[in-house]
Homo-oligomer: A and B are copies of this chain.
């Protein structure tokens, strides 16, 4: 028997599409309703099997939902959750997949009408590809999903959401939204900024010489500019703090090269290797 009769997914891009596909392939939901603005995305999502039903009308889409997952761009999540809360069954749990959590949680926690509750999620490890045609039922397998409870979070809501992500294959971790945002600034937003600056620097005439090193180091710079603009701005203070630490380290490295300081270069490169080896593959 499926765990859910009806799950609504608002925004059927890579993440929303992959959630739908994983729910379907694992037999976790009978109906997966995809809600989107564009018929073309909704059709793609249905074609790849990520959703069973589609609509451009959020009110219709969530009318019978037992769980609503808002996967729209991070700058729009709060307003979409509020909109959904007007139309879903009373007391429905609503979650999201946004990569910056504090502003969203502050806007929504304990503030929804009709007995609805918001509890934030962030499944880590997206891809540089976008759109439901890249949806992958295994996208969450073995990856971390962070849930950001508050003092208002009900135990049964947390348990339901923890089970939901576990069922999709995720390793679930919980932390407060502010702590999430500091950590993710370092672990995700900083690498994106670094990769972006590198991709912006390499002159086109040298592209034909690109090896795996440059390709790996810049890979995430192919991510959607609009989404990343929103993330940088929503998590602005933490991203700037992470960039400040990075710039200081970069400056240390530049100075060591400038001075041909062998001892300092060895120290720096050895620390970096130690950290990278500890990160695993």
- Classify the interface of chain A: helix, strand, loop or mixed: helix
A257 at the interface (CB under 8 A from B): yes
Minimal beta-carbon separation of A93 from chain B (angstroms) = 24
A124 in contact with B209 given A233-B265, A257-B236 (CB within 8 Å): yes
Contact B209 A232 (CB under 8 A): no
A222-267, CB < 8 A from B: 222-226, 228-229, 232-233, 236, 239-240, 242-243, 245-247, 249-251, 253-254, 257-258, 260, 262, 265-266
Residue of B233, B246, B262 near A260 (CB, 8 A) is: B233
Most chain B CB inside 10 Å of its own CB: which residue of A125, A184, A245, A275:
A275
Contact A209 B226 (CB under 8 A): no
Count of chain A residues near B, Cβ 8 A: 86
A195-209, CB < 8 A from B: 195-204, 206-209
Contact A257 B243 (CB under 8 A): yes
A13 at the interface (CB under 8 A from B): no
Can you show 27 pairs from A to B with CB atoms below 8 A apart? A128-B276, A173-B208, A173-B209, A183-B209, A187-B206, A187-B214, A191-B213, A191-B217, A192-B213, A196-B269, A198-B246, A199-B271, A199-B275, A204-B275, A207-B275, A217-B217, A218-B276, A218-B279, A219-B276, A229-B262, A229-B266, A233-B265, A240-B254, A243-B253, A243-B254, A247-B247, A250-B250
A279 in contact with B229 given A201-B242, A247-B250 (CB within 8 Å): no
A270 at the interface (CB under 8 A from B): yes
Contact B196 A253 (CB under 8 A): yes
A279 in contact with B213 given A200-B268, A221-B273, A250-B247 (CB within 8 Å): no
Contact B217 A124 (CB under 8 A): no
Contact B200 A187 (CB under 8 A): no
